[in-house]
């Protein structure tokens, strides 16, 4: 059963409360809904070596993959100011859930609806790797 956008935003808000963001204090939560209705949560986890930081969207999606989910219908992302997903997260969403609806919310629950295709038009996908060209 599909969850409402409001429910996904509420769950992402709960995940945001668990974020580990001692350096930026920019807490992000995400809730991704699999095709079977299961919801997986994620929060950003920072690291003193900044490139090792992982975003909430990727935590939610990789947790879902690890649990066996393979198809996704929606993701909610909550930040203090309705910040949009970063480029890396957009690429991962394009790979794992190109048809997903995306709800981008501030901490008060005010959200807008967009799609992965709107966030990353003309994305690079696995199909583009299969060119048939031989190297060397």
DSSP state string for 25-54: ----EEEEEETTS-EEEEE-B--SSGGG-B
What would you measure as the largest C-alpha separation in the chain, in angstroms? Answer: 55
Catalytic residue among 6, 57, 99, 127: 57
Judge contact between 39 and 72, C-beta under 8 A: no
- 68-79 pLDDT, tens digit each: 999 999 999 999
Active site residue 99: no
Q: Write out the two tokens for 60.
A: 């939610």
Judge contact between 12 and 43, C-beta under 8 A: no
- 105-120 pLDDT, tens digit each: 999 999 999 999 999 9
Q: What is the pLDDT of residue 120?
A: 96
Sign of the CA dihedral running 25, 100, 63, 15: positive
Residues in the chain: 136
Judge contact between 20 and 44, C-beta under 8 A: yes
pTM over the 0.85 mark: yes
Q: Residue-wise over 7-31: b if at least 16 C-beta within 10 A, else e?
A: ebbbbbbebbeebebeeeeebbbbb
* 88: enclosing H helix or E strand: helix 87-96
Q: What is the pLDDT of residue 34?
A: 98
């Amino acid at each position: 059963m599909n969850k409402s956008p409001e429910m996904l935003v509420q769950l992402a808000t709960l995940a945001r409360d668990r974020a580990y963001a001692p350096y930026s204090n920019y807490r992000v939560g995400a809730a991704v809904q699999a095709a079977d209705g299961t919801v997986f949560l994620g929060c950003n986890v920072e690291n003193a070596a900044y490139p090792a930081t992982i975003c909430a969207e990727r935590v939610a999606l990789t947790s879902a993959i690890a649990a066996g989910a393979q198809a996704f219908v929606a993701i909610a992302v909550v930040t203090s100011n309705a910040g949009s997903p970063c480029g890396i997260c957009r690429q991962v969403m394009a790979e794992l859930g190109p048809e997903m609806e995306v709800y981008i919310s501030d901490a008060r629950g005010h959200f807008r609806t967009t799609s992965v295709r709107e966030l990353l038009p003309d994305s690079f996908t696995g199909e583009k790797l299969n060119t048939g060209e031989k190297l060397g």
